[in-house]
Amino acid sequence: MLIGIPVEETVLANEQVEDGKGWRSGANIERRKLKQWFLKITDYAEEMLQETDTLEGWPERVRVMQKNWIGRSEGMEFDFNFKKGEPPISVFTTRPDTIMGVTFLAISGDHPIALDLEKENKTIKAFLKDINSIKLSEADLAKQEKLGIDTGLKAHHPFSKKEIPIWIANFVLSGYGSGALMGVPAHDERDYEFAKKYGLEIKQVIKGTSNKTIEEGAILEKNELINSNEFDGLSFDKAFEQIDKKAKKLKCGQKQINYRLRDWGFRDNDTGVLLFQQ
């Protein structure tokens, strides 16, 4: 899925979109699925990460920038079933210890589920048009008001099988992971803000280490698990191992390493930019 301007026939980076318009001409943007060539540099993510420590003469700040660009994260991927016959919604998290605190799923505006719903639901179509008209960079999204719309669909929690709502949210990036996130309001500041705004359940599953209560905000510390059934009383590391074992047994999840790094789009012409043509 690419962002571009039909009148210019060029593709734009997220950072080149301002209020739903291209930075150069001010024309409205569109999103399209286009065939393109990629250099599969993600196959070398770990090798590149390790090599940054051997670079001679490179300033430390540049090495840090490179490591952040590659963005290695260790965690787990969970599958949430939502409709019989449909593939599950896969989500990656670095905090598998909070799995029992999931109270909603959030998907990006260009997730396949959102695009299917857009065809039939005028309210969702209008919402997607609105969120696509704002700046799209990760830094911009972090500062913006968290907005969402309930799809009316329900997913099943991989362990408890409890039904949880699926929302489309403006803070979910399609370019990272699967374009879906598990919402854990009690232990994530962004999810907490979103849940408070839309009246979603907030379930605490990690014991706090300070005097802060869940009514005052998200508890971010890694600590002993509570309200998590057989995982109660476990530390982060022990919970990680036990949750991984159960997920494998139920065939609903596994340990995974994710990278922020994406494959490199390869120019298919000599103009320097990918052409935005059908």
Q: Where are the domains of the chain?
A: 75-260
Residue 1 has pLDDT above 90, yes or no: no
Query: Does residue 168 contact residue 109 with C-beta atoms inside 8 Å?
Result: yes
Q: Taking a C-beta distance cutoff of 8 angstroms, is the pair 191, 185 a contact?
A: yes
* Per-residue confidence (pLDDT) for residue 255, from 0 to 100: 96
- Across the range 222-242, mean pLDDT stands at 97
Statement: residue 256 has pLDDT above 80: yes
- The mean of the pLDDT values for the chain is 88
- Say how many CA atoms lie within 13 Å of 174 toward its Cβ: 16
Mean pLDDT value across residues 47-53 = 93
| Mean pLDDT calculated for residue range 184-189 | 97
Which pLDDT score is estimated for 231?
98
Closest CA to 159 of 249, 91, 238, 235: 249
The token duo for 54 is 């051997």
Instruction: Supply the pLDDT for residue 29.
Output: 75
Residue 164 in this model has a pLDDT that exceeds 90: yes
pLDDT at 233: 97
- Specify whether the CB–CB gap between 274 and 268 falls below 8 A: yes
At 97, the pLDDT band (50, 70, 90 cuts) reads very high
- Mean pLDDT on 189-206: 97
* Percent of the chain residues topping a pLDDT of 70: 89
pTM (two decimals): 0.84
pLDDT in the model for residue 7: 73
Confidence of residue 156 (pLDDT cuts 50, 70, 90): very high
Residue 175: predicted pLDDT: 67
Q: What is the pLDDT of residue 269?
A: 53
- The answer, yes or no, to whether residue 16 has pLDDT greater than 90, is no
pLDDT for 11 equals 78
Higher pLDDT, 253 or 131: 253
d(CA 50, CA 276): 36
Identify the pLDDT of residue 195.
Answer: 98
Helix segments in 71-221, DSSP class H: 112-120, 122-131, 138-143, 189-198
Is domain 75-260 in CATH 3.60.15.10, yes or no? no
What tokens were used for 171? 């803070």
